[in-house]
Amino acid sequence: MAEKEKMTVYIISDSIGETAYNLATAATVQFPEVEFTYHRFPLSKTTSLLAGILEQAKRANAFVVHTLVGKGLAGYVNQFCKDNNLYVLDGMSKLINTISQKTGLTPLYQAGRNHKLNKTYFNRIEALEFAVTYDDGKDPKGFLQADIVLLGVSRTSKTPLSLYLANKNYKVANLPLVPQTNIPEELWQVDPQKIFGLTNDPQVLNNIRKERLVTYGLNPETNYSNLENIEAELKFAEKLYKKIGCLVINVSNKSIEETATLITESLPL
């Protein structure tokens, strides 16, 4: 029996992403000979957040499906995909624009207006908003309220992973690790079983960071992408993980889903 062709699908939304997911799966089930892997990125409401997600999509040569309605977001994704030769399906813009032209009315550009306002919906929105609020260590108090705390140096998929887990109703906070910076006191008050240290292979991280700088039109050879500096960052993180006693996950060869499954299955009952 021939091995199935594989395709990665990135599903992006500025709401919870159900419409985009249903749209993608409604089409992909028509191709049973292909093995599809889905990565869902809900509440993607800023271009800075989208930039990180799209860089991952580029590395995975993914098919991008989105239902972004926020002003400028759809255009940003569509242009990125065009510039980087990624196939993209914009599930909302053309339909909204057509209705606007026919009626002469201006659309609201509000995400998530078609969802039923039930308890499950509100719980998911709460988890997603929590992940956005406590992303990148913005407020250390979030560590005390989180179901999961993610630690990692830059470009270890903390934010996309936080949003993926939030879509599973987990409240997630994350903290970027930089040597010579103070670790918030709140972190030491968290159950180590709820903390997960993300790491990566130095060379893989070196390539990811260089690609990131090139995307922004910057010189790829900087302290940020320097291999020795990256190795020092990873050693700093490893030392911290040992001190905390948390589970360490190398994300270099793992999908978002695989890493998320490792985390959820390791949580205390």
Is 159 annotated to bind ligand?
Answer: yes
Q: Which residues pair with 5 in a beta bridge?
A: 34
Q: Distance (Å, rounded) from C-alpha 218 to C-alpha 207?
A: 14
152 marked ligand binding residue:
yes
d(CA 77, CA 64): 9
Q: What distance in Å separates the CA atoms of residue 101 and residue 95, rounded to the nearest whole number?
A: 10
| Burial tier of 15 (Cβ tally within 10 Å: 0-12, 13-18, 19+) | buried
Whether residue 154 is annotated as binding a ligand: the answer is yes
Is 15 annotated to bind a ligand? Reply is: no
Is 235 annotated for ligand binding? no
Distance of CA 227 to the CA centre of its chain: 24
**Residue 100 annotated as binding?**
no
Residue 157 annotated as binding site = yes
Q: Is 155 annotated as a binding residue?
A: yes
Residue 54 tokens read as 């799209």
Q: Which residues make up each annotated binding site for ADP?
A: 152-159
Q: Which residues make up each annotated binding site?
A: 152-159
